[in-house]
Amino acid sequence: MTKIEVNIDALEHNLRQLRQKVNQHHASSLVMAIIKANAYGHGALNVAHFLDQKVDYFGVARLDEALKLRKLGIQTPILVLGGFFSESELTQFVEYNIESVIHDDAQIKKLQNWQKENQENRSKLSVWVKVDTGMHRLGFDPEQIPSVFETLKTLPNIEKPLHLISHFANADQPENSLNQKQHQCFEAVIASLPKEILGKKTLVASSGLLTLPDAYYDMIRPGIALYGISPFTGKTSKMLGLRQVMTLKSHIIAIKSIQKGDAIGYGSIWTSTKMTQLGVIAIGYGDGYPREVAQNAPVLINGRFIPVVGRVSMDMLVVDLGANAQDKVGDEVILWGEELPIERIAELSKLSVYELVTRLTGRLEIDYVYDKDNHNCKNDKSFNEREEE
């Protein structure tokens, strides 16, 4: 079957690794697992279920993502990174105990109005004030922050102290000079605030967490690294001590012999230079496998790397198994997994790893597995049972 497998043991391994790394530098740092965009294609509700109470926070982009988690019974604190957009959203943030980023003046106005209309409501909203330290996406200018804090301090429906958040623009390039500048700017903002009103501070996501130990502060916000995928071009997760959590799998649905000179697929962009056997695989760009992938990009079949040939179509792609191949219809095909890093496929499609995982479509089922489910593992019960047969 064509599907995604998510390995919970690998996920927990990565969480342990990241916690260990942080604790070496800043023992009290909390971990916010970023599970926006359906947990980067890994299934947000299940990932949240497995990590509930094991991480300190969940981070999502939008309120509806947070509401789904609360309705599932997730207890862990949740921060909505995009913040609230309306007063009716504000009511839901408070009702479901969801924390919000606040990043512009329009939100402060809405907060003040909501305050007036909800004076009898004693529930409070926890907020993370976002400062734009140089990315120029969301956030107040650094010099605005003291007055934002002053204003929020006077609102009784806002939980005190107030937290502070910012985000790096180029942390995936450790040598980039903007990193230092953003970090210094964050420091200056902290210094401009009265200590008693300032709560937690958080700056790094995955790449900063792997390269900027001085910037851990009170909380790290790993997304991509938690899933065992490297945010750095030219580095795989293995090099970082992480395990790729996701395996994308399919199977051979047809095998066909062709002659020298036969062209295959849409546009006939690949022509065989020899007699060979083609394998037709039941996965395509309609599942999220990149149509952009280079000719001869590898898939893994029966332990061999086999090249993709011709254009990837919506529901299928074709590989060149070789003239003497013994592979059969039904054999498993790995498009990416621990033995075939997704970073490699990203490189060969000129796409980011972030885009590859988030563009997987709803047609793919997600199975949650453990190491012991892997039939290649030694000491595995089902492996032993098969030996005895």
Ligand X SMILES: *Cc1c(COP(=O)(O)O)cnc(C)c1O
- Residues acting as catalytic residues: 36, 266
Taking the complex as a whole, the smallest distance from the CB of residue 240 to ligand X amounts, in Å, to 12
> How many CB atoms are closer than 10 A to CB 189?
24
- Using CB under 6 A, which of 6, 18, 33, 34 touches ligand X? 34
Closer CB to ligand X, residue 224 or residue 317? Answer: 224
Kindly state whether residue 81 participates in binding ligand X, applying the rule CB under 6 A: yes
Is residue 53 helix, strand or coil? coil
Give the whole-angstrom CA distance, residue 265 versus residue 111.
57
Structure tokens at 244: 């790729």
Overall size of the chain counted in residues: 389
Kindly state whether residue 346 participates in binding ligand X, applying the rule CB under 6 A: no
Q: Which stretch binds ligand X (CB under 6 A): 200-208, 286-294, 337-345, 368-376?
A: 200-208
Kindly state whether residue 134 participates in binding ligand X, applying the rule CB under 6 A: no
Closer CB to ligand X, residue 228 or residue 284? Answer: 228
6 touches 245 (CB < 8 A) = yes
Kindly state whether residue 83 participates in binding ligand X, applying the rule CB under 6 A: no
125-140 CB burial, b ≥16 within 10 A, e <16: bbbbbbbbbbeeebbb
Kindly state whether residue 221 participates in binding ligand X, applying the rule CB under 6 A: yes
**Number of residues located near ligand X, criterion CB under 6 A:** 13
Q: Are strands 3-7 and 365-369 parallel, antiparallel or unpaired?
A: parallel
Taking the complex as a whole, the smallest distance from the CB of residue 82 to ligand X amounts, in Å, to 8
Task: State the greatest distance between any 2 C-alpha atoms of the chain, in Å, as a whole number.
Answer: 80
44 touches 61 (CB < 8 A) = no
Taking the complex as a whole, the smallest distance from the CB of residue 81 to ligand X amounts, in Å, to 5
- Using CB under 6 A, which of 41, 83, 134, 223 touches ligand X? 223
Closer CB to ligand X, residue 15 or residue 309? Answer: 15
Per CB under 6 A, which of residues 87..106 are in contact with ligand X?
none
| Chain residue at closest Cβ approach to ligand X | 223
313 Rama sector, left if φ>0, alpha if ψ -120 to 50, beta otherwise: beta
What's phi and psi for 128, nearest 5 deg? -115, 110
Kindly state whether residue 167 participates in binding ligand X, applying the rule CB under 6 A: yes
Site residues for ligand X per CB under 6 A: 34, 36, 81, 167, 205-207, 221-225, 231
